[in-house]
Chain A
Amino acid sequence: VTAAGVRPVSGPAPDWLFPSFERHTLSNGVQVIACHLADRPVIHVRLLTDGGIRREPAAVAGLGHITGRSLLEGSELRRAEELNEALEVLGARLDVGVAWNGIATHLTMPRSQLLPALELLAEVATAPGFRDDDVRGVVRRRIDETVIQQRVPHTAGMDAFAAAVFPDGARMALPKWGAASTVATLDAGMAERWWRLHAQPFTSTVLVVGDLRDVDLDALLGKTFEPWVTTQPALSPPALDPLGAARRGIVVDLPQGVQTTLCVGLASPPCALADRAALQVATHVLGGYFGSRLVTRLREEKSITYGVNAQMNNRKGSSVFLLTTAVEVPATLEALTDIFDEIASVAGGVGFGDDEVRKAADNLIGRGPIAYKNAAAVADTLQSIVLNDLPDDYVDRHRADMAELTPGQVTEAFRRHVDVDRLAVAAAGPAAAITDPIRSLIPGVFVR
């Protein structure tokens, strides 16, 4: 039977729910989340503790990051080389990432090595080394890395974007991992105090995701993390992030640049759980995927970019709407005008249409099973649930919410959160060529 020209019609996607996971609490208060995914031979473990970026005073911006990286420099029992060798002989990898609301220590290993790798993670977390020379080395390396990041258009643009959307002097206005000037002030004593203040059993969670057949996780964690003793009382939550008041524009001069990297957006008060679905769909329609308005306009119709990205980053202290793209230098003003026009058409114009909302929502809903078949993605989302205090059924609930949305709800939510008059722009590219064009839209734009 030839099928040429006869297009099949797909049935509805099978019912799907986020992979089930179990929670329990160790006797010392450590929360445990275990998620079994068959035939995923590499286990993903995350130790989630307090002490993220939102806890940092601006003067020590980067302290959470330096603290986390210093964990990799060894424990009380062994120096960095010995620790890393012990991990790597197991095929294990240990990394630390600092998030807005916590420090996430990532451990991966083949499932056969789960116990010895967990023992090393517990050793690092409960008896960290924080030796003076090791932390000094981490600080020096981080400062050198900032030099590179300032020359990479995307990271340079993102650092400037933070400065454009948050008020001067605020922690959030500084680069995510701190500025060279603040990182330079950090030392081992500060890192050790930061870790001991924030990494306590009763505020920590251990996630384990992968093929857990025949794994006695209770026994493994009882042996590794249950002996961890509380030494500090709980901290009150950090204050909400202060927000920038007016439209701002910042240009980062990359004189040799052949493109302009544009970051457009703003920070707004934290998004209510009920608004999350609508805001995700709104940003998706604008620039979140191939079918979005701005991908169509800037890439498919005008061919002035390779791609566009849009997202709403929901943190506990604020929500950040962000749209990024990189365009040919001569097209900088044209692209920026198109971006502003699209946002304004929603914020002050006709709003979102039925067809585009339905398509964007269907895309996001359909992504569920496709995204969460791999262990790393499941671990990422469980981490987000823990660090952002989201309900355990967040993914399923969020998908159901998106299915019910009307264009009016999406438009209204977007208007509540995105004030066009406060939109900020950060641009990384050759300042001599792009500053004046940007000034025609944002008169106060300056080069830094």
Chain B
Amino acid sequence: MSTTFPYVQHELANGLRLVVSPDRVAPVVAVNLWYDVGSRHERPGRTGFAHLFEHLMFEGSTNVGSGEHMRLVLESGGAVNGTTSTERTVYTETVSVEQLELILFLEADRMRGLLGAVSQEALDKQRDVVRNERRQRYDDQPYGTAYERLYALLYPEDHPYHHTPIGSMADLAAASLEDVHGFFRSHYAPDNAVLALVGDIDPDHALELVSKHLGDIPRRRDLPTDPEATLTSPLPAPARVSLQEAVPASALFLGYRLPVDDDPTLPALEVAMAVLASGRSSALHRKLVRAELAQQVNAGVDRRVVGASIGIVIAIGRQGVKAGDIEAVVVAEIERLATNGPDAVELARAKSMLERNWLDRLGSLEGRAEEFARSTTLYGEPGEINGRVDRLRAPSAEDVRAAVAQHVAGRPPAVVEYAAIGEGVAA
């Protein structure tokens, strides 16, 4: 089932790209301002900075007081957030249509003039908040640092994907006001951003408002070039971290380097991962969960723009089961796919699951706005989102088999494995 979500796109004279998609279900609009800067753009010794900077964006700007942006949105029930990933930093608001112009003013004000308002005190405060975010979401959770370890194995030390967006405590401590200024000047500009608006709004009126508030912000022109990220896929040699920790059960985090997002074989690999572990009738659910080796298993593709995407399989073991036993089953299933390919039911099931998940994402205004912004930033084409179902539906069983054989089976994986203390790591 292809999607036909409508959209209109414009590029302002200062380089800001705008995508507007009407949706009349409720008198609200989802705003997604996507800056093309994420943790992959951070310099050595400043991991976590893009995310820390995102927090500072709520500390006020030329005409907006500290915390006022958030308060103004919340006063009338709006939702407001910022998120940072490896690829981008996104600022989102979902508000009543009557508030849209105010939101555009607020976003324009901080795009135009953040720096005067950011003090050492604000930096210190948000640094502490981010440290607590790191503790709560990563350091204090079982397996909370697994992704960090997996990325570090998959990408070499000088590679922009070697670290995760949350960064290290030491690098956060080292961040200075000078870094804040430099980062803003380098990355925060209209020609490094895409604005997506989805909701009860007329595209012409949206363009008028956006031009009024953001149209006169000077373009940067001298945007920094992206850090070198070329990689040979696959990983040159297996990489493994074996941990014995106070975790409640063994766990396996298995990663493979895959081609980048726009590579024609990636949809087949997404289907392959869904065959492996998306849904209760998937191959690994049957052989691990129903067989009582694992409590849960998931697999997917983390689509990356440059260098290499990641194919990931994650399983949490049942009590007393070693990660090595789980890994053996996963590897055997990958080998089966590379040899025989998926059968007709597996293929149909995997595609249907991927389609449903994608439709669910586009069914929310926020999800649709984010995907419009993503496809515009990365591919210059918002309509790419409407073609994704067809791309996921396209691979044949042979395409899936060949893609797994080429990129996964027999290729060196990166493995992070956990044993609960007293269990022993090795199989």
Across the interface, B98 reaches (CB within 8 A) one of A11, A258, A259, A365, namely A11
Q: Which A residues between 291 and 319 are near B, CB-CB below 8 angstroms?
A: 291, 299-300, 303-307
Which residues of B have CB within 8 Å of A87?
281
| Docked pose: A211 CA to B299 CA in angstroms | 30
Q: Which residue of A lies closest to B71 (CB)?
A: A291
B79-116 CB mask vs A (1 if < 8 Å, else 0) is: 11000000000000011111101100100110010000
B77 adjacent to A365 (CB under 8 Å): yes
A224 within 8 A of B: no
Residues of the A chain whose Cβ atoms lie less than 8 Å from the Cβ of B247: 151
A256 surroundings in chain B (CB, below 8 A): 246
Q: Is B204 an interface residue (CB 8 A)?
A: no
CA distance A19 to B267 in the complex (A): 37
Report chain B residues within 8 Å CB of A350: none
**When the two chains form their complex, are residues B26 and A369 in contact, meaning their CB atoms are under 8 A apart?**
yes
CA distance A152 to B247 in the complex (A): 10
Give A303's nearest chain B residue, CB to CB: B128
Q: Which of B187-203 contact A (CB under 8 A)?
A: 199
Q: Which residue of A lies closest to B360 (CB)?
A: A42
The B113-165 residues at the A interface (CB cut-off 8 A) are 124-126, 128-129, 132-133, 135-137, 139-142
CB-CB under 8 A from B249, the residues of chain A are: 144, 147-148
Contact A8 B101 (CB under 8 A): yes
> Which chain B residue shows the least CB distance to A146?
B248
Contact indicator A14/B96 (Cβ below 8 Å):
yes
Among B128, B140, B345, max chain A CB count under 10 A is at B140
Known A-B contacts A137-B290, A259-B136, A370-B94; A362 and B75 likewise in contact (beta carbons under 8 Å): yes
Q: Assess the A370–B63 pair: CB atoms within 8 A.
A: no
B362, CB-defined interface residue at 8 Å: yes
Rounded to whole angstroms, the CA-CA distance of A172 and B133 in the bound complex is 31
Q: Which of A237-245, A371-379, A380-388, A434-442 contacts B (4 or more CB under 8 A)?
A: A371-379
The stretch that binds B, out of A48-56, A77-85, A160-168, A412-420, is: A77-85
Q: Is B76 an interface residue (CB 8 A)?
A: yes
- Chain B residues lying within 8 Å of A374, measured Cβ to Cβ, are 363-365
Which of these, A14, A81, A359, contacts B281 with CB under 8 Å?
A: A81
Is the CB of B67 closer than 8 A to any CB of chain A? yes
A231-249 Cβ-contact flags toward B at 8 Å (1 or 0): 0000000000000000000
Q: How far, in angstroms, from A140 to B295 measured CA to CA in the complex?
A: 10
A88-B352, A92-B356, A363-B76 are contacts. A152–B141 as well, Cβ < 8 Å?
yes
Q: Contacts A13-B98, A304-B132; is A40 near B77 (CB within 8 Å)?
A: no
Q: Which residue of A lies closest to B356 (CB)?
A: A91
Flag whether B213 is at the interface (Cβ < 8 A).
yes
- Judge whether A135 is part of the interface by a CB distance below 8 angstroms: no
A108 at the interface (CB under 8 A from B): yes
Interface residues on A, range: 35 or more
Pair A2/B216 contact, Cβ less than 8 Å: yes
Query: For the complex, is A272 an interface residue (Cβ under 8 Å from B)?
Result: no
Is there an interface contact between A39 and B25, defined as CB atoms closer than 8 Å?
yes
Option from A8, A9, A148 in Cβ contact (under 8 Å) with B316: A148
* Residue from A41, A108, A305, A368 with most neighbouring chain B CB atoms (10 Å): A41
Known: A16-B27, A147-B248, A151-B247. A328 touches B132 (CB 8 A): yes
Confirm or deny: B292 has a beta carbon within 8 angstroms of a beta carbon on chain A.
yes
Is B355's beta carbon under 8 Å from chain A? Answer: yes
Query: Would you give the shortest CB distance from A328 to chain B, in whole angstroms?
Result: 6
What is the chain B residue whose CB lies nearest that of A13? Answer: B96
Q: How many A-B residue pairs have CB under 8 A?
A: 223
Verify if B391 is at the interface (C-beta below 8 Å from A): no
| Complex contacts, A230 vs chain B, CB 8 Å | none
Q: How far is the CA of A108 from the CA of B356 in the complex (A)?
A: 9
B223 contacts chain A at the CB level, 8 A cutoff: no
Tell yes or no: B239 within 8 A of A by CB.
no
B224-251 to A contact mask, C-beta < 8 Å, 1/0: 0000000000000000000000111100
Closest to A254 in B: B140
- Inter-chain contacts of A90 with B (CB < 8 A): 352
Given contacts A14-B98, A328-B132, contact A38 B24 (CB under 8 A): yes
A109 at the interface (CB under 8 A from B): yes
Interface centre among B74, B126, B132 (most CB of A within 10 A): B132
Report the bound CA distance from A40 to B345 in whole Å: 27
Hey, which chain A residues are within 8 Å of B353, CB to CB? Answer: 88, 91
CB-CB under 8 A for A369 and B281, given A91-B355, A303-B125:
no
Distance A396 CA – B102 CA, assembled complex (angstroms): 26
CA distance A1 to B216 in the complex (A): 9
B186 within 8 A of A: no
Instruction: Compute how far the CA of A186 lies from the CA of B286 in the bound complex, rounded to whole angstroms.
Output: 24
**Which of A5, A81, A93, A153 is within 8 Å of B63, CB to CB?**
A5
Known: A16-B26, A369-B96. A110 touches B356 (CB 8 A): yes
A326 at the interface (CB under 8 A from B): yes
Q: A364 contacts the other chain (Cβ, under 8 Å)?
A: yes
Contact partner, A144, options B140, B216, B319, Cβ 8 Å: B319
When chains A and B are docked, how far (Å) is the Cα of A350 from the Cα of B321?
Answer: 57
Which of B199, B216, B289, B356 has a CB less than 8 Å from the CB of A109? Answer: B356
| Chain B, Cβ-Cβ closest to A399 | B77
Interface string of A353-369 (1 = CB under 8 A from B): 00000010011111111
Q: Which residues in window 145-190 of A have CB below 8 A to B?
A: 145, 147-148, 150-153
Once the chains are docked, how many angstroms separate the CA of A219 from the CA of B237? 59
B residues near A270, Cβ cutoff 8 Å: none
Chain B residue at minimum C-beta to C-beta distance from A81: B281
B317 nearest CB neighbor, chain A only: A144
B359, CB-defined interface residue at 8 Å: yes
- CB contacts (< 8 Å) of A150 on chain B: these are 248
Q: Closest CB of chain B to A364's CB: distance in Å?
A: 7
Query: B181: CB under 8 A from chain A?
Result: no
Residue in A89, A259, A303 whose CB lies within 8 Å of B349: A89
Chain A to chain B contacts (Cβ below 8 Å), 16 pairs: A4-B63, A8-B105, A11-B98, A19-B25, A40-B363, A41-B359, A91-B356, A147-B249, A148-B316, A152-B142, A255-B246, A303-B124, A326-B136, A326-B140, A368-B77, A369-B28
Nearest 9 A-B pairs (CB), nearest first?
A366-B77, A303-B128, A91-B352, A91-B356, A84-B281, A13-B96, A84-B280, A85-B281, A373-B26
Which residues of B come within 8 Å of A, CB atoms?
A: 1, 3, 5, 23-28, 62-63, 67, 70-71, 74-80, 94-99, 101-102, 105, 108-109, 112, 124-126, 128-129, 132-133, 135-137, 139-142, 199, 212-213, 216, 246-249, 279-282, 286, 289-290, 292, 295, 316, 318-319, 345, 348-349, 352-353, 355-356, 359-360, 362-365
Q: Which A residues form the contact surface with B (CB < 8 A)?
A: 1-14, 16, 19, 37-42, 72, 80-81, 84-85, 87-93, 108-110, 112, 137, 140-141, 144-145, 147-148, 150-153, 255-259, 289-291, 299-300, 303-307, 326-328, 359, 362-370, 372-375
Known contacts A91-B352, A303-B129, then 4 further A-B pairs from the complex at CB < 8 Å, ordered by chain A residue: A10-B76, A13-B76, A16-B27, A110-B355
